[in-house]
Each structure stands twice: as structure tokens, then as C-alpha cells.
Amino acid sequence: MSIGQVGLIGTASILGWLIFEPLSGVVADRVRKKWMIVFAIVGSTLIYAAYPLASSFEHFMVLYFLTSSVMSGYAISVKAMTAELLPRENRGKAYGRYLSVISFGGVVAPMVGGWVTESMGYSMPFYLASGIGLVTLSAVLLMRYDDKPLGAAAPTGGSVRELLTSTLMSIFLVRGMFIFNFMFTSNFLPIYLHESPRFQATETQIGGFQTLFRLATAGGQAALGGVMDRLGSRRVMAGSVSLLGLSYLALASGGGLPLLFILGCVQGVLTAAADMSMMIHLMAVMPPGRTGMVMGLYSESENVGGLAANPALGFIYESMGGGASVLALVAVLLVASAASALMIRDAEERN
């Protein structure tokens, strides 16, 4: 496949989120979120098992679309449950620990995935993912959470128009631009590190970089929550996004595995700070009783950003080179940092 086709496959995935996440947000406010999660895990397990059977670009487009469509119910339900269950006092500390548990669970995945791919072939990681999905399903079924469906009793005062305050819209805008970072690191950065003459990284080395990134992310999540409780999430948001953008300049101008692994740690901490600060600020300003709808719109901003990011970064990479795509990402992140500093207000100023 060409770099442009890789970008189109990512776009197909984003389309699934784009179509179904807003709907999942509305449904999550009215039905049992736990059973939405069960449905998503069963569906994604079956789809992952079908990945090794794909034999063309079109097959992968369909599979990516189906995966994101099914997993939209999982993503929105988990986010809504998190917003409902986290305490208001010391929310940053609690949310940081929650995220660190999730992140540490995925720390070994890139290294294991790279090793399994090189030693057993490209099909085995998908079968492994299907098996892990079944284990996850048993954990969800044992989950204790009182999420009785609200049905017709769901609060009706929070219409979409009332939800779209200036602060919420600003958070959605910043999130949409920040998602360029995730699209680049997931779809294009491994290719860049492999092709760049400064790095020429192997699959295992790329997996090592991603493992260090996730370790630093998990550690940052555990440590930075308390900092946000003291400094405020808005300040952390603006600073971390801008520094993350500047770190990519070091990646584009330097070389060698030591620099690669150092940047993996630095970018992991900065990504944790930016990602956490956006969600914590959103929880502080969202109206009560509409966690599903707000999270659906928040995720929709990610989808719109992803729809723009994948083809744009893919086109720039293919026509002007990997360095140009890195510079484009830097520009987007710096604009997002400026927007977060100038447009997003604190919770007490949200109206």
C-alpha cells in the first residue's frame, strides 16, 4: 500500500467513529452503559479475528470502519461512566490514577506486537487481540456499577443547543486540532522512523520507542493529576500542547536511537498532560445529566480532526516527504496551544 492508502484506511476508521459516536452518546444517557460495552467487546473480538483474512486495500477499509463503528459504544460509555464516578474534589489526582492503570495495561503491547510480528508473522497479533478481548469481556461482566436506564426519565433540559457554550465549543476545537498528534503517531510516525536515514528503526526498535512512550505516559498520568488540581487544567493544557509541538522539531532535526528513546519519554509525559487536562476541564464545565451527549460531541470533535488529519498528513508525507509532515504537525499543535490559552475559560467563567 502507498502512504496515501494508509491515510485512507485511517480515514475509514474515523468515519465509523464520526457516524456512530454522537448516537452512542445519546443512547448512553438512556440505557445501561455496561451492556453497550459488552456488545462492543464481542463485536470487536470477532472483527479482529477477521483481519488476517483480508487480502486487499478495500477489505482493510471495511474492517477498520466496522471496528470503529462497533467500538463507538464502548468509548462513549466508558467516558460517560468516568465522568459520573470521579469525585469533584481532587478530580485530577483520581483521574490520573485511573488513566495510569489503563496505560500500564498497554505498556508491553507495542514491544510484544513487534516481536510477535517479526517471529510469527503479521496475522498472529490479530488472533492475540481476539483472545484478549474474551478476557476483557469476563472482567466487564463482573463489573459492579448501578447504571439503571433513565429511559423517558432522562433529563431533557440539556438540549444540544444549550450544551454548545463557548467554552465547550473551544474545548472541542482544541481537541480536534490535538488529534492530529494521535493520527500522526499511530499511522505515520512508525513509517517515518523506519524510512528516515537518521533513524532507520527496525520493527522492534519502533516497538521499544512506543513502549517507552506509554511508560512515560502512564507515569505522567499518575503524577500530573495533583499538579492540575493545584495549577488548573487550562494552564497545563496550553503549555503541554506547545511543548509537544516543539518536541517534534527535535525529532525532525536529530537522529539516532538515543534521541529517539529520549523523545519517546518526553512526548509520553507531554501527551499525558495535554490529554488529561482537556478531559478534566471538560468534566468541570459540562452540564450535569448529559455525560453521554457531551462525551459524544467531544469524541465527534476528535473524529472531525481525524478526518482532516489523515488525508492531509498522508498527502504531505507522500508529496513533500516525512519532514514536511512533521512540520505540518508542529504548526497545528502550536495553533491548538494558542487557542487553548486564548479561548478556553475556567469553570466559574463558563457562562
Is 204 within a domain?
Answer: yes
Domain that holds residue 235: 3-149+159-349
Pick the range with the lowest mean pLDDT from 136-145, 161-170, 187-196, 218-227: 161-170
* Distance in angstroms (rounded) separating the CA atoms of residues 236 and 214: 19
Concatenated DSSP letters of 244-296: HHHHHHHHHH--SHHHHHHHHHHHHHHHHHHHHHHHHHHHHHSPTT-HHHHHH
Check which CATH number belongs to the domain holding 205 and give it: 1.20.1250.20
The phi and psi torsions of 146 (rounded to 5 degrees) equal -85, 90
Give the side-chain half-sphere CA count within 13 A for 145: 20
Name the residue among 237, 41, 205, 54 with its Cα closest to residue 139.
41
User: Is the pLDDT at 307 greater than 50, yes or no?
Assistant: yes
Structural contact between residues 3 and 317, judged by C-beta atoms closer than 8 angstroms? yes
Q: At 197, is the secondary structure helix, strand, or coil?
A: coil
Is 154 within a domain?
Answer: no
Structure confidence by residue, pLDDT tens digits, 264-275? 899 999 999 999
Structural contact between residues 108 and 211, judged by C-beta atoms closer than 8 angstroms? yes
All residues at 6 or more sequence positions from 227 whose CB lies less than 8 Å from its CB, including other chains? 92, 236
Structural contact between residues 207 and 110, judged by C-beta atoms closer than 8 angstroms? yes
Q: Which set of grid coordinates corresponds to residue 159? A: 438540549
Could you tell me the pLDDT band of residue 33, with boundaries at 50, 70 and 90?
A: confident
Q: At 238, which amino acid appears?
A: A
Give the side-chain half-sphere CA count within 13 A for 208: 13
Is 196 within a domain?
Answer: yes
- pLDDT on residue 164: 63
Q: Average model confidence (pLDDT) for the chain?
A: 83
Q: How many CB atoms lie within 10 A of CB 268?
A: 24
Q: What share of the chain is helix, strand, coil (3-state, %, to 5)?
A: 85, 0, 15
DSSP state of 350: -
Structure confidence by residue, pLDDT tens digits, 127-153? 888 888 888 888 888 877 666 554 444
Cα torsion 339, 340, 342, 343: sign:
positive
Task: Say how many domains are in the chain.
Answer: 1
Concatenated DSSP letters of 204-255: HHHHHHHHHHHHHHHHHHHHHHHHHHHH-HHHHHHHHHHHHHHHHHHHHH--
> What is the rounded average pLDDT of the residues 288-313?
84
Structure confidence by residue, pLDDT tens digits, 156-167? 444 555 566 677
Q: Which set of grid coordinates corresponds to residue 234? A: 487550562
User: Is the pLDDT at 350 greater than 60, yes or no?
Assistant: no
Name the residue among 177, 188, 186, 185 with its Cα closest to residue 333.
177
Is 231 within a domain?
Answer: yes
> What is the rounded average pLDDT of the residues 312-330?
91
Q: Which phi-psi region, left, alpha or beta, contains residue 321 (left: φ > 0; alpha: ψ -120 to 50)?
A: left
Is 125 within a domain?
Answer: yes
2-6, 96-100, 127-131, 329-333: which is most confident: 329-333
Taking the model in full, what pTM does it have?
0.75
Burial zone of 14 (CB within 10 Å; 0-12 exposed, 13-18 middle, 19+ buried): buried
Angle between helices 166-183 and 291-320 (to 10 degrees): 40
Q: At 327, is the secondary structure helix, strand, or coil?
A: helix
Is 11 within a domain?
Answer: yes
- pLDDT on residue 348: 47
% of the chain surpassing 90 pLDDT? 19
